[in-house]
Structure 1
Amino acid sequence: MAKRRAWEDEEDEAAVAPPVPCWLCGRDLGEVVEYHHPVPKAKGGKAREPVHPICHRTIHAHFTNSKLGRIGENVEALRSHPEVAKFLSWVAGKPADFNAPTKKRER
């Protein structure tokens, strides 16, 4: 086994990528990551953003694909929705891999 020098350890620590934040809530992502298309694929969207599974379900519980197509990549429009804002304040202190049932879609 080769010896490691102190400066080699520092390089290894620097090589670790910083945590990626969730596109919707801004908390660091955990082990399970889903990808949300801000503009749905059915509406021609190609971009994908990393989100927690609970955040992804919340988006689709409150917005139809048509509405998401009109909003586009404007995450602030999603965050300003009253129910989503309430969810964001509730989930803010939860751990990255927190999971809970999500309300059914509003129709």
Structure 2
Amino acid sequence: MARKHKQDVVSWYQQPEPDICPLCNRLIPADQRDEHHLIPKSRGGRQTQALHRICHRQIHALFDEAELEKSYSTVEALLEHPQMEKFVRWVRKKPPGFYDGTRRSNRRKEKG
């Protein structure tokens, strides 16, 4: 019996839509993709949003979980905050793969 080799092969695979960060509107590379809980998981939040790692870290550097739950549980609310707005204006000019390491908090003790 003859094999159907390379005959009428219909591809079922569809390439996924590229992720765009809703904060900075840049393409999110796979290695820079973080899932952000709009309402912190510790406070019952389940819905997540894909963000650049640098944008995600900036959110958590500016706001604690109570603030995120009460005042900044949407992308629109985050963008209205003056410090977040300033950060977004800065990071929008960077290439999609750009990542600037975060500094360790002074409250953390050096392990040694």
TM-score per shorter chain, which class?
0.7 to 0.9
Name the structure 2 match of 1:91: 91
One-letter amino acid matched to 2:48: R
TM-score norm. by structure 2 comes to 0.73
Q: Per-residue deviation at 1:72?
A: 5.2
Contact 1:29 1:51 in 2 (8 A): yes
Contact 1:24 1:51 in 2 (8 A): yes
Kindly tell me the number of residue pairs found equivalent between the two proteins. Answer: 99
Instruction: Tell me the distance in 1 between the aligned counterparts of 2:59 and 2:34.
Output: 12
Name the structure 1 match of 2:28: 29
RMSD of equivalent CA atoms: 2.5
Contact 1:19 1:29 in 2 (8 A): yes
Segment of structure 1 superposing worse, 17-26 or 36-45:
17-26
SS in 2 for 1:19: coil
Contact 1:24 1:55 in 2 (8 A): yes
One-letter amino acid matched to 1:24: L
Name the structure 2 match of 1:18: 17
SS in 2 for 1:34: strand
Instruction: Tell me the distance in 1 between the aligned counterparts of 2:80 and 2:99.
Output: 22
CA gap 1:98/1:3 in 2 versus in 1, 3 angstroms: same
Where structure 1 has 5 or more consecutive residues not aligned to the other structure, the ranges are none
One-letter amino acid matched to 1:53: R
Where structure 2 has 5 or more consecutive residues not aligned to the other structure, the ranges are 106-112
TM-score norm. by structure 1 comes to 0.76
Name the structure 2 match of 1:62: 62
User: Which protein is bigger by CA-based radius of gyration?
Assistant: 2
Name the structure 2 match of 1:81: 81
Percent identity reads 36
One-letter amino acid matched to 1:86: K
Instruction: Tell me the distance in 2 between the aligned counterparts of 1:81 and 1:72.
Output: 9
Of Structure 1 and Structure 2, the greater helix share is in 1
